[in-house]
Chain A
Amino acid sequence: MSKLSRFFVLIVFIGVALWFLYPSIEWYFIMSQKDKDLLTLSQDQLDIQPPEIKKRALQVKNVRKGALSLGLDLQGGVNITLQINEESLSNQLLEKYEFDTNKLSANYANEFLSASDRALEVLKNRMDQFGVAEPIIRKTFDHRITIELPGLNNPQLIKEALSRVGRLEFKLVDEKSMKKLSELNVQMPRGYVLSRQDVPQDFQIPAESEWASYWENDEFGIPKLKGWYILYKKVELDGTMISTARPDHDQYGRNYIAFELTPEGTDIFAEVTGQNIKNRLAIVLDGKVKSAPSIQSEIAGGSGQITGDFTVEEAAFLANVLKAGSLPVKLDIVQERIIGASLGEDSIKDGTKAALIGAIIVVVFMIAYYKLSGLFSIISLAFNMLFLVALLAGVRATLTLSGIAGIALTVGMAVDANVIIYERIREELRRSKNYRHALENGFQHASATIWDSNITTIIAAFTLYIFGSGTIKGFGITLAFGIIANIFAALFICRLIFDWWLDTFHPEKISV
């Protein structure tokens, strides 16, 4: 590749890196506290704000999502303690044991334990799903659940994520009543009642039915009341009968939601769908209708699809709603505390100072030992760091102490790649005094060594990433990205600087 095109490649990479980094820069250095505070508003608080504030809130939310987050150990966060709502649990169990209170009390302790286990598992699963970075979820010995979530700035978002843990039910739309309404000329352009004001005062809905509000997410991702359905009160099946759900799209790019049912759910669903073809089956989360797809055919195989005019976001949201339904227990937030960094603010200040001193030592050493070449390696090290941090921001990684260890190792190994190259060049120089040749050979021989030694480390890093979990996973990804940035910096950027220097200044020799 010519020098010009290599330079162009470098510029493109820097551009991409800055693009990845921009949200982090905006969040940590530019955005005002007032804007950040918008994230603490709850949905109903935000609802009464003027549209431009709502729009700003959405922008802030997106910036926060794109920014590199710091782990609990580095920045502190929120500590939330949750407790199983025993009243709702015992109601649920009473149903299960067919109102036999003796049987219930005999089994209650076990049922409670298994409910708290399930709740823990589902919460863990849900944390990933809502994109909260590296949470710590633990049971306490009195069977509460404590969740520690990094970041002080969005407790509301987190509570929202937890409170979205709701009861999911499927109820049939009372098509008979709906039809009666349409005969009464009530406005229903999209199949539901726009306003209950339109419904005549004397309209009676059957005893087995009830009004249910229909909510759709608006452009800001905030649920908005859109209208009303009349649903049968009977719960046909509930969220626990859903085993998985995911958004997908067909060959024409139309989005749909694919879902699978538990064995129990399969039978019930087949029966319900078989008997109610052409009717609508509403998906109800916490009493709010989220969607009311019509049944096209009997769904017997235990898996089905919800099709409709969905955007990607809508499909993803609905799939999440379906998944959220499988949490069987109601949890109450009993305590919410804002905690400092678990390593302590003092430790982080010390650690930053020490890391800076360490970096300065490396810079001084490299320049003192390798002179100009040392300076070149420091420049490529700076690019290396830029790419590493950009890659981490790009995958929305969370920086924790172990992640920083990965970065520290990267600095060590980045310098190493340069040391391998320079020592090799020195060896070549002992054989011939031609600087260009020595440089050429040095880079060529060293690159084989650098590839081999780094590939073994990459194998280790990717294994940790793929098979590890939590902290280990984070460490693995940091290390893997670090090595990729390393190889690029040592063999591409550093080489480019050398070539540029030789071609521009035609030096007699270069101090290596």
Chain B
Amino acid sequence: MQPQDLNNTKTAYNLKNTSDGQKYKFFPFLEIRWFAFAFSLLIIGTGIASFLLKGGFNLGIDFKGGVKVDVNINAPDINIKKVRQIFIENKMNAEISTVGKPEERNFMISLPVSSSATTEIDNLKSFLEKQFGTDKVLIRGSEVVEPKIGKAFASRSFQLLTIVAVLILVYVMFRFDFYYGAGAVLALLHDTLVMLSFTALLDIPVDITVIAAIMTILGYSINDTIVVFDRIREIASTNKDEDLLLIMNRSITQTLSRTIITSLTTFLVVLALFIWGGPVLHNFALELMIGIFFGTYSSIFIASPITYMLRRIFDKKLRKATVKSGL
């Protein structure tokens, strides 16, 4: 298979003369940047609106704290999978695990507290009795627990992300220049906001796995972005007089097959998790799928255009790409 396949679709590609007299085929990524920005802002705007309308995220038990009920269900053929199924069917966000040996049919069911703990336990009991029969359910013990992750966690995560962003900015500034650093960091911010928007829109309960998914995507997306930047730097170092816009278009086009292949393989892994990974991994995989898609999208449509625009606004003399050459 040849990677130039993409270049043969004549309709989508422009031919322009470049400074070194050769003709290159590329897609006008930067010319359509306003569509991309509008699209992203639309998603983020919808996310914020949904966040405000719903009064915040749907917090999972990790953040909220809740009741932990140790319950014996004395029904034949009952197992953890069936119990979990029942909670999912009734749209209840519960954490379920077995206590002791599986054949003893004791389960630990954790639910986030919405009203008071005692009503929550009573509700759970009557819910289980309705499902399995009155004499089949025995509450063996219960306790009300504080959140696994305290309130400080949110601000702590925010601090952490800020430190990460600053360090990445410094590194990219050192290896490229300030505009590239800003482009990379803004692309990361974009990815975080898009993922949070979908979290609010789709009512995904925020717990540790969501945080892990967001961090995973940040690592993934920055990698993607730098690969494109690297190519821009390489082309720029041999074509000093060429317009930055053309160089960027060429670079994104040239790295496109790599970007798509990598995203595709990773996406397929996560898709497998989504389809076959069972209910617990469902939200995690969903967040990752959103993240991989938009992480890839941002490395193509957000990072370079932002770099280009920042440079055009603040550095009018340097519209040509003069960047230190590679390693």
* Cβ proximity bits B147-166 to A, threshold 8 Å, 1 near / 0 not: 11000000011011001100
Select one of B102, B226, B258, B281 contacting A345, CB under 8 A: B102
**21 contacting pairs across A/B (C-beta < 8 A):** A141-B144, A337-B70, A339-B108, A340-B97, A341-B97, A343-B97, A344-B80, A350-B281, A361-B272, A362-B268, A413-B219, A415-B266, A423-B261, A430-B4, A448-B326, A452-B327, A453-B224, A459-B168, A460-B218, A467-B159, A475-B216
Q: How extensive is the interface on chain B, given as a class?
A: 35 or more
Complex: chain B residue closest to A136, CB-CB? B148
Interface residues of A in 340-363 (CB under 8 A from B): 340-347, 349-351, 353-355, 357-359, 361-362
* Cβ proximity bits B195-209 to A, threshold 8 Å, 1 near / 0 not: 000000000000011
| In the bound complex, CA of A426 to CA of B222 (Å) | 24
**B327-A464 in contact (CB<8A):** no
Select one of A138, A419, A455, A475 contacting B171, CB under 8 A: A455
Of A4-12, A196-204, A385-393, A399-407, the segment with at least 4 beta carbons within 8 Å of chain B is A399-407
B25–chain A nearest beta-carbon distance, Å: 13
B198–chain A nearest beta-carbon distance, Å: 17
Given A76-B97, A359-B269, 8 additional A-B pairs, CB 8 A: A76-B98, A347-B280, A354-B278, A448-B230, A464-B160, A469-B156, A471-B212, A475-B215
- Residues from chain B with Cβ under 8 Å of A338 in the complex: 99-100
**B141-A335 in contact (CB<8A):** yes
- Residues from chain B with Cβ under 8 Å of A416 in the complex: 223, 258, 262, 266
- B residues contacting A by CB (< 8 A) are 1-4, 70, 79-81, 84, 95-100, 102, 108, 117, 141, 143-148, 156-157, 159-160, 163-164, 167-168, 171-172, 175, 184, 208-209, 211-213, 215-216, 218-220, 222-224, 226-227, 229-231, 234, 254-255, 257-258, 261-262, 264-266, 268-273, 275-281, 284, 288, 326-327
A491–chain B nearest beta-carbon distance, Å: 12
- Is A434 among interface residues, defined by CB-CB distance under 8 A? no
- Residues from chain A with Cβ under 8 Å of B224 in the complex: 453
A-B contact count (CB 8 A): 238
Select one of B80, B98, B269 contacting A408, CB under 8 A: B269
**A413-B95 in contact (CB<8A):** no
**B277-A401 in contact (CB<8A):** no
**B171-A415 in contact (CB<8A):** no
| In the bound complex, CA of A351 to CA of B285 (Å) | 11
| In the bound complex, CA of A362 to CA of B224 (Å) | 18
| In the bound complex, CA of A345 to CA of B96 (Å) | 10
- Residues from chain A with Cβ under 8 Å of B96 in the complex: 344
Interface of A is mostly: helix
Known: A354-B275, A448-B327, A452-B226. A344 touches B141 (CB 8 A): no
- Residues from chain B with Cβ under 8 Å of A15 in the complex: none
| In the bound complex, CA of A357 to CA of B277 (Å) | 10
**B268-A445 in contact (CB<8A):** no
- Residues from chain B with Cβ under 8 Å of A412 in the complex: 220, 262, 265-266, 269
Complex: chain A residue closest to B230, CB-CB? A449
- Is A375 among interface residues, defined by CB-CB distance under 8 A? no
| In the bound complex, CA of A349 to CA of B257 (Å) | 35
B278–chain A nearest beta-carbon distance, Å: 3
Known: A340-B97, A453-B227. A401 touches B284 (CB 8 A): yes
Select one of A342, A343, A413, A449 contacting B231, CB under 8 A: A449
